[in-house]
């Protein structure tokens, strides 16, 4: 009788360990499924972000190029403005003294003191 009680206890302990082992496997599988279910939306967001980055990369390169063009144009404008300011402050160069020896025909009868311009 003692051997049957020992055998029964041994079978019960082995059954307990088999049950614990099967439960842990199912628990890990369930955890894995839960983890995959949580990761799926994150993967979708990651893929959407990658697609958006791929779409925006050419636009960013174009923006960089256009910004550089704008800087170049602003530098040209600043130089032209500086040249114009310098030129407007200096008196214009004269090649020779103007002579007003020619006479203008007066076409207007009421403006005797100023000459009329020819057509």
Identify the pLDDT of residue 32.
Answer: 81
One DSSP character per residue, the chain reads -HHHHHHHHHHHHHHHHHHHHHHHHHHHHHHHHHHHHHHHHHHHHHHHHHHHHHHHHHHHHHHHHHHHHHHHHHHHHHHHHHHHHHHHHSPPP-SS-----S------SS--SSPPPP-
pLDDT of residue 69: 96
pTM of this structure: 0.39
pLDDT of residue 25: 84
pLDDT per residue of the chain (119 residues) written in tens, 0 to 9: 678 888 889 999 999 999 999 888 887 777 888 888 888 999 999 999 999 999 999 999 999 999 999 999 999 999 999 998 888 887 666 666 556 555 555 454 555 555 555 65
Give dist(CA 37, CA 43) in Å, integer.
10
Tokens at 62, concatenated: 């174009």
The pLDDT score that the predictor gives to residue 28 is 79
């Amino acid at each position: 009788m003692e051997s049957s009680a020992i055998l029964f206890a041994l079978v019960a302990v082995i059954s307990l360990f088999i049950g614990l082992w099967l439960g842990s496997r199912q628990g890990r599988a369930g955890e894995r499924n839960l983890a995959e279910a949580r990761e799926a939306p994150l993967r979708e967001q990651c893929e959407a972000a990658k697609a958006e980055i791929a779409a925006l990369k050419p636009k960013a390169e174009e923006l960089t190029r256009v910004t550089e063009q704008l800087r170049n144009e602003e530098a040209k404008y600043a130089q032209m403005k500086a040249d114009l300011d310098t030129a407007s402050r200096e008196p214009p160069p004269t090649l020779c003294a103007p002579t007003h020896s020619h006479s203008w025909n007066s076409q207007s009868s009421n403006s005797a003191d100023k000459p009329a311009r020819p057509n």
